[in-house]
Amino acid sequence: MDSITQAALGATIAGAVAGRTLGRSALLAGAVLGTLPDLDVVIDYGTAVANFTQHRGFTHSLFILALLSLPLAWVLWRWKPVISYQRWLALTGLILLTHPMLDAFTTYGTQLFWPLGPPIALNSIFIIDPLYTLPLLAAIACFLVRPAKPGSLMAGLSVSTLYLVWTLAAQQVISNRVEPALADAGLADAPRMVQPMPFNTILWRVTVVSDDRRVEMVTGFLDGDSPLTLESFPRDPALAMQANTLEEGQRLAWFTDGFLHYEQVDDLLLATDVRLGVPGAHPFTFVLARYNGDALEPAPSYRQDRPALRRELLGALWARLTGAAPVLCLASLELPPPGEGCS
C-alpha cells in the first residue's frame, strides 16, 4: 500500500497499544515504524528487473521483521521506559508485521516468507484505496483531539479490517461471475487474476493468460445484467521462450507469475508486467536484451519511461464504475459509442 496508508496503520496500532500512556507521541513512533519496511526502495540492486523484483523482499519478510522487532523494542523502551519492554515489543511487532501483510493484499507481490517461496499477492485491493485509509485517518484525528480516550483507534482498525474482508468477498463474487464466460472462451483452466480497478472495489478487472493470447474483462457490481465484454490481446510464445532463456527474464516471470506481455520493438526484447496499471498504461516495461542479427544479446535490464495517462481516463473510469457506461475498452482506454462494443 502507499506510504500514507502504512504510516496511518502504524500510528493507529501504536495508539491502540500504548496511546493511553504515551499520548500523542505514540502516533509518531507508530507512523515511523509503519513506513520502515519500505526503506528498501533506496537500495540499488544493479538493474531495473533486480530493483523491481527485490522490492518487498527481505525488508518485508515476516522472519526478518519478527527478529528486528526485538532490538527495536529495546531501543524504544530505553527511550520511554514508562511502558514495559513487553508492551514495546507488542507495539513494534504488530506494526512491522502488519505492514507486509497489508501489502500482500495488493497486486505487486510481497515476499512474506523471504528467502523461502514466491511472492504472495492476493490482488484484492488497489495500492491506493481511500475507503481503507480514511477510517484510520479519522481515528487518528479523534485521538489527537481526545488522547485520553483511544477507543476511536480500535474502531478505526476494526472498520479498515472489515473492509479488507469485504475486498476478498467481492473478489470471489466477481470470480464466480466470469466463470461461464471464460468457459465459453475455452479458458476455464487458464491462469487468471481478478483485481479491483484503481481506487475502488466496485469495478474489477479480470486478466487471463494462455500461450497465444491474453483476455481482459472489466465488470462491476453496478453492471446489472449487462453482458461481459472480452478483449483479446495476442501473445507471442516464441518471444516468451526467448525471454525465459535469460536470467532476468526468468526472474521477472517468477515474480509476476507469468503475467507478462513480450514484444520486439526494433532490435529490443521488451517485457511488460500486465498485472499493474491497465493496457496502454502499464507502468513497468523492461528492456531485457538486444537482437544482433538472429542472436539475442543479454544486457543489464532497464525500464522504459512510464506511458502518460490521459486526463479523460479518470472520467471514463468513473462512468464505467457507476454503470453510466456499460463498456470500457481497455485496448484504447476509451468508452465506445452507445450500443457498440470494443473493436
Structural domain range at position 254? 236-303
Report the number of distinct structural domains present in the chain. 2
Separation in Å, CA 294 to CA 244, 247, 276, 297, 299? 17, 19, 31, 10, 16
- Picking from 36, 86, 41, 43, the residue whose alpha carbon sits closest to that of residue 65 is 36
pLDDT tens sequence across 141-188:
999 998 878 889 999 999 999 999 999 999 999 999 999 999 999 999
- The last residue of one of the domains, among 97, 122, 147, is 122
CA distance 129 to 137: 13
- The last residue of one of the domains, among 58, 89, 122, is 122
pLDDT on residue 252: 96
Query: DSSP states of 237-293 as a string?
Result: HHHHHHHTTSHHHHHHHHHHTT-EEEEEETTEEEEEESSSS-TT--S-EEEEEEEET
Note whether residue 63 is domain-resident.
yes
Yes or no: say if 102 and 111 are a contact pair by the CB < 8 Å rule: no
Mark 82-113 as b/e (b = at least 16 C-beta within 10 Å).
Answer: ebeeebbbbbbbbbbbbbbebbbbbbbbbbbe
pLDDT on residue 87: 95
Note whether residue 178 is domain-resident.
no
- The last residue of one of the domains, among 67, 96, 122, is 122
- For the cut 70, the answer to whether the pLDDT of residue 283 exceeds it is yes
Note whether residue 268 is domain-resident.
yes
Note whether residue 324 is domain-resident.
no
CA distance 102 to 124: 11
pLDDT on residue 107: 96
- For the cut 90, the answer to whether the pLDDT of residue 323 exceeds it is no
pLDDT band at 343; cut points 50, 70, 90 = low
pLDDT tens sequence across 102-130:
999 999 999 999 999 999 999 999 999 99
Find cell 532490538 and name the residue: 71
- For the cut 90, the answer to whether the pLDDT of residue 91 exceeds it is yes
Enter the C-alpha cell of residue 127. Answer: 495500492
Average pLDDT over residues 58-79: 96
Note whether residue 79 is domain-resident.
yes
What is the chain's length?
343
Greater confidence (132 vs 317) lies with: 132
Note whether residue 145 is domain-resident.
no
Mapping DSSP to helix (H, G, I), strand (E, B) and coil, where does residue 85 land?
Answer: helix
Which residues are bridge partners to 265 per DSSP? 268
CA distance 157 to 226: 36
Element (H, E) at 294: none
Note whether residue 336 is domain-resident.
no
Average pLDDT over residues 290-298: 88
Note whether residue 86 is domain-resident.
yes
